[in-house]
């Protein structure tokens, strides 16, 4: 499955490079949703909430009531997870909190079936807090112990995020070997060939920069 991404900052649809530098702005959120109408699920990330700089809840609600959305950004408490589900989120993406005791409370609040855990890797280690802080462990080491609290993993190869240089297929192969849970790949996916390879591994693809810059054609992607 191909999952287009809508990342929100200051009320606008944006694309960042490695979670830091804004590279471009997309069209209005509802216009992006219209463009993505052929795809069964949309990924919505509230970057302001992730970075602790406010939130875009009104836009999240608008999108989640019009499409099946997996929503992330600042999901660090059970209340925040419940709030996103109440807004209409199909599933919530838990990043930083997945590596704290809060994950158990979040899973209790909304159910593991509604949770995707974000395992984001930079220089080989999981990074948290908007990719600003590194941990001491690798994604391959932790996915098995997180399985009871989620229905899948969103795995971002941060080293190539937003750079249109391709991704690390070997990292995704190692992750696929580490868990039977649903996996979604993100970070640097640039070509149809990469998408086909990931699909052959039974890994979904979350796409951002390659779509927004026209490197990948939406019409072609709808038939992959």
Which is catalytic among the residues 48, 120, 159, 168? 120
Is there a catalytic annotation at residue 120?
Answer: yes
| Tokens representing residue 92 in the block | 């919530």
| Tokens representing residue 8 in the block | 């929100």
Is there a catalytic annotation at residue 10?
Answer: no
The H-assigned helical ranges of 43-165 are 47-50, 57-64, 78-87, 102-110, 139-146
| Tokens representing residue 224 in the block | 């992959």
3-state SS assignment for residue 62: helix
How does strand 152-157 pair with strand 133-134? unpaired
Asked whether 93 and 70 are in contact (CB, 8 A), the reply is: yes
Q: How far apart are CA 111 and CA 206, in angstroms?
A: 23
Q: How far apart are CA 199 and CA 193, in angstroms?
A: 10
Residues 6+ apart with CB under 8 A from 96: 76, 128, 129
Which is catalytic among the residues 7, 46, 48, 55? 7
- Max Cα–Cα distance, the chain, nearest Å: 43
Which helix (H) or strand (E) segment is 91 a member of? Answer: strand 91-94
Residues annotated catalytic, as ranges: 7, 120
């Amino acid at each position: 499955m191909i999952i287009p991404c809508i990342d929100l900052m200051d009320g606008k649809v944006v694309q960042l490079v490695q979670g830091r530098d804004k590279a471009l702005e997309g069209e209005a959120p509802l216009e992006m949703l219209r463009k993505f109408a052929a795809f069964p699920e949309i990924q919505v990330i509230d970057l302001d909430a992730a970075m602790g700089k406010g939130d875009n809840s009104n836009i999240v609600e608008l999108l989640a009531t019009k499409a099946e959305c997996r929503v992330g950004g600042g999901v660090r408490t059970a209340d925040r997870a419940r709030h996103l589900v109440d807004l209409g989120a199909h599933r919530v993406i838990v990043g930083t909190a997945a590596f704290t005791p809060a994950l158990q409370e979040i899973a209790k609040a909304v159910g593991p079936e509604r949770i995707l855990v974000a395992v984001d890797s930079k220089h080989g280690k999981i990074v948290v807090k908007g990719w600003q802080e590194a941990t001491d462990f690798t994604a391959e080491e932790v996915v098995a112990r997180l399985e009871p609290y989620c229905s899948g993993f969103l795995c971002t190869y941060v080293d190539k995020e937003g750079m249109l240089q391709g991704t690390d297929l070997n990292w995704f192969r190692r992750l696929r070997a580490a868990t039977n849970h649903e996996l979604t790949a993100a970070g640097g996916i640039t070509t149809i060939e990469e998408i086909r390879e990931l699909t052959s591994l039974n890994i979904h693809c979350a796409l951002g920069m390659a779509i927004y810059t026209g490197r990948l054609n939406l019409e072609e992607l709808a038939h992959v």
